[in-house]
Amino acid sequence: MKVLGIETSCDETGVAVYDSADGIVAEALYSQIEIHERFGGVVPELASRDHAARLAPMIGNVVAEAGITLRDLDAVAYTAGPGLIGALMVGGSLAASLGYALGIPVIPVHHMEAHLLAAMLEPGPPAFPFLALLVSGGHTQLVAVSGLGDYELLGATLDDAAGEAFDKVARLLELPYPGGPALAKLAESGDPGAYALPRPLLNKGLELSFSGLKTAVLRLLERLGSAARDGGQGAQIRADIAASFQAAVVETLVNKCGLAMRSTGLERLVIAGGVGANRDLRRTLKERGQRDGYAVHYPRPALCTDNGAMIAYAGWCRRATAGTGLPRIEARPRWPLEALEPITSGAS
């Protein structure tokens, strides 16, 4: 079965073809960084327009790269939410049009479920059940996964998501967009023990909070004043702040995962979402898993960020839920993961 995946939830246009016999056979990704960097964040209308301009040519190129034609597709999957409403509508409209023209099923995909399942595309994929840490710019959640669509939310951030906190602190440090990767890069030359930053709710249940940590960085920069901006000393101070901030986020996430693993008795941990590409987080979680006796799974960094491959695969897993009749466009800016229905057929 060949499924075309379309991802347009935010500022990256992703397209891929998943073949149930051969895995991901072709994919392409376009990032809108150059469009949004001068604004310091994503401008929804510009994101939608760029998706509309690029999506159809990308689909043609990816299908050709896969060595097939559109007529060889068995289904089209697209991100239906959560995300920016205009961007979602672009992907959903083209997916529905293709499905109608080709007479094939059109499958709406939950963006975070696709992230959660991305580790299944790697060798030695995790078996159900497992604990998932979904950690991105918009979400930080601990989810007990019993099967496809069978999710229990154990804990979530009470305010800023981890990725959002990375981006906000990056702006405080006057780093370029996108802030999260720039901060992680700067942290490589800093001392993670230079500044004692808070770890909110570190050992208190499974809820998370990063707003106070962000504010602590702001107050630290105010105290340091011009010393954090001037010359080589200022550059090192900013690197030390970046490293100290990253260490606080990583320690918090790792501790929360440990608490959740102990409370559930699960033996496998899956890391998913854009922040899952952070090298310090991956290394520290792997070390903690080895110490405490649980396996840690994560997709390659390219599959942590938004991409069409995870949408195509999630669409294949949910092929049994494809509607009949005329394709319907779904666009859900807000869509709780736990609202999904479990299914027993589709994945294998």
Classify residue 20: in a domain, yes or no. Answer: yes
Query: Same domain, yes or no, for 200 and 146?
Result: yes
Query: Same domain, yes or no, for 158 and 277?
Result: yes
Instruction: Give me 159's structure tokens.
Output: 């305010």
**pLDDT given for residue 281 in this prediction:** 97
CB-neighbour burial class of residue 325 (10 A; exposed 0-12, middle 13-18, buried 19+): exposed
Q: How far apart are the first and last CA of the chain?
A: 13
- E-assigned strand segments in the chain: 2-7, 12-19, 23-31, 75-81, 106-110, 130-135, 140-147, 150-156, 268-272, 295-297
Query: Same domain, yes or no, for 42 and 77?
Result: yes
**pLDDT given for residue 203 in this prediction:** 86
Classify residue 281: in a domain, yes or no. Answer: yes
Classify residue 346: in a domain, yes or no. Answer: no
Residue 273 DSSP symbol: S
Are 250 and 208 spatial neighbours (Cβ–Cβ below 8 Å)? Answer: no
Classify residue 345: in a domain, yes or no. Answer: no
Range of the domain at 327: 2-117+303-339
Classify residue 212: in a domain, yes or no. Answer: yes
Residue labelled with tokens 């050709």: 64
Classify residue 234: in a domain, yes or no. Answer: yes
Classify residue 122: in a domain, yes or no. Answer: no
Are 6 and 98 spatial neighbours (Cβ–Cβ below 8 Å)? Answer: no
Mean pLDDT of 108-134: 97
Count of domains observed in the chain: 2
* Averaged confidence pLDDT in the chain: 95
Mean pLDDT of 209-220: 96
Query: Same domain, yes or no, for 282 and 255?
Result: yes
Query: Same domain, yes or no, for 72 and 148?
Result: no
pLDDT in tens, 77-108: 999 999 999 999 999 999 999 999 999 999 99
**pLDDT given for residue 162 in this prediction:** 95
Q: In CATH, what number is assigned to the domain containing residue 176?
A: 3.30.420.40
**pLDDT given for residue 81 in this prediction:** 97
